[in-house]
Amino acid sequence: MEGYIIEISNLYTSFFIDTQVIPVINDLNLRIKKGKVLGLIGESGSGKTMTALSILRLVPSPGKIISGRVCFEGKDLLSLTNREMESIRGNRIGMIFQEPMTALNPVIRVGEQISETLITHKGLSKKEVREISLELLKKVGFEDPGKRYIQYPHQLSGGQRQRVLIAIAISCNPSLLIADEPTTALDVATEAQILSLLKELIETQNMSMLFITHNLNIMKRFGDHIGIMYAGRLLEMAPVVDFFNEPLHPYSKGLIDSIFTLRPNEKRLKVIPGFVPRLSELPEGCKFHPRCNYAMDICKKDEPPMQDLGNERWIRCYLF
């Protein structure tokens, strides 16, 4: 469809461990508008990272994408050959991983790691690439790109490494950037730097972004749309402003209540009771019903389908 950079429909991904089949993504439908940021929120094990890996077809063994479609720039990524897929990864889709400490190769100079992507995808000479790499380092906020170019990752701080990773991710001018918890390992101040850098890049480079995080506070100030994942399912999708004004799903409400906002004079935090279920022991029906205050009989038996409520809001709940 026109206007969307990526459309995922009916995606299923499972892990095959011994004789068990553990579904990590179940019937996922989402799309991102061109030039917009979709924030994917979820707790650990909710399938948000697996969504990113499924898009890139990097689901680690024994995991497998079972069915679905991932439409990106008019192509179904799931039906491409490996060679074709390689020309998209890092080129049309950039990826920023969570751990800036481990995502860079410790024995290769920063500049070469940036150049590598460019040489692979653009077929440029080493000389041309050096110029572009220096330009990229400048773009991500280094004042002395020449010095950084020849440094090794261990000589950089966490925030600086994350900026190098961003430089690598945007080096080929991708149309989609996937950022998986890019600021989780960083301090508040560094986090703000990285977020403002990402925001600026999206605006100036006309990129779209899938932003994965467990931090609702960040999404409040960052994304355009928000998707809430739980146990491998998308439970709610909405424009950010509408979502925070009026969260619909009981889980979304619980999440917003349980974050620590700066409001004094409350003795206790409201909490979502119970524990996040294990993917191998999911309940019947709606996966959230054991923790839900509004659970009805039908929730225990049948899983609710994703409903379109209009105004770009979707929800997976029988209350609506």
Partner 1 sequence: MDTLLSVLELKKTYEVKKSIFSSKKDIIRAVDSISLELQRGSTLGIVGESGSGKSTLARCILFLERPDGGKVFFENKDLMTLKKNEMRTLRKDMQIIFQDPYSSLNPRKRVLETIGEPLLFHGYSKKDDLISKVKDILKDIGLNEDFLNKYPHEMSGGQRQRVAIGRAIATNPKLIVADEPVSSLDVSIQAQIVNLFLDIKEKRKISIIFVSHDLNIVRFISDEIIVIYKGKVVESGKTEEVFYNPLHPYTKMLIESVKADFIKKEPILNDNQHEGCAYYPRCNIKREICKKGSPSLTGDKIHKVACFVFNQPF
8 Å CB contact between 159 and 190: yes
CB of 128 to partner 1, least distance (A): 27
217 scored as a contact of partner 1 (CB under 8 A) = yes
Which stretch in 85-93, 109-117, 136-144, 294-302 sits in contact with partner 1 by CB under 8 A?
Answer: 136-144
Of 165, 255, 286, 292, the one binding partner 1 (CB under 8 A) is 255
Task: Considering only residues 43 through 62, tell me which ones interact with partner 1, judged by CB under 8 A.
Answer: 43-44
By CB under 8 A, the count of residues binding partner 1 is: 42
Which stretch in 96-104, 140-148, 293-301, 308-316 sits in contact with partner 1 by CB under 8 A?
Answer: 140-148
Distance CA 213, CA 178 (A): 11
106 scored as a contact of partner 1 (CB under 8 A) = no
199 scored as a contact of partner 1 (CB under 8 A) = yes
Those residues with Cβ within 8 angstroms of residue 139's Cβ, 6 or more apart along the chain or in another chain: 167, 170, 201
Of 264, 281, 293, 310, the one binding partner 1 (CB under 8 A) is 264
The sheet with strand 20-33 has its strands ordered as 20-33, 4-17, 63-72, 75-76
Which stretch in 3-11, 58-66, 72-80, 261-269 sits in contact with partner 1 by CB under 8 A?
Answer: 261-269
CB of 318 to partner 1, least distance (A): 21
- The total number of residues shown for the chain amounts to 320
CB of 172 to partner 1, least distance (A): 23
Closest CA to 169 of 127, 128, 197, 130: 197
Q: What backbone phi and psi angles, to 5 degrees, belong to 44? A: -65, 140
Binding mask 168-187 for partner 1 (x = CB under 8 A): -------------------x
Range list of H helices, 16-109: 48-55, 82-86, 100-103
Which is nearer to partner 1, 127 or 275 (by Cβ)?
275
The sheet with strand 208-213 has its strands ordered as 93-96, 176-180, 208-213, 37-41, 225-230, 233-239, 313-315, 307-310
82 scored as a contact of partner 1 (CB under 8 A) = no
CB of 313 to partner 1, least distance (A): 21
8 Å CB contact between 223 and 243: no
155 scored as a contact of partner 1 (CB under 8 A) = no
Matching residue, tokens 């279920």: 277
Residue 105 identity (one-letter amino acid):
N
Binding site for partner 1 (CB under 8 A): 43-44, 141-143, 158-159, 163, 187-193, 195-196, 199, 214-217, 220-222, 254-255, 258-262, 264, 267-272, 275-276, 278
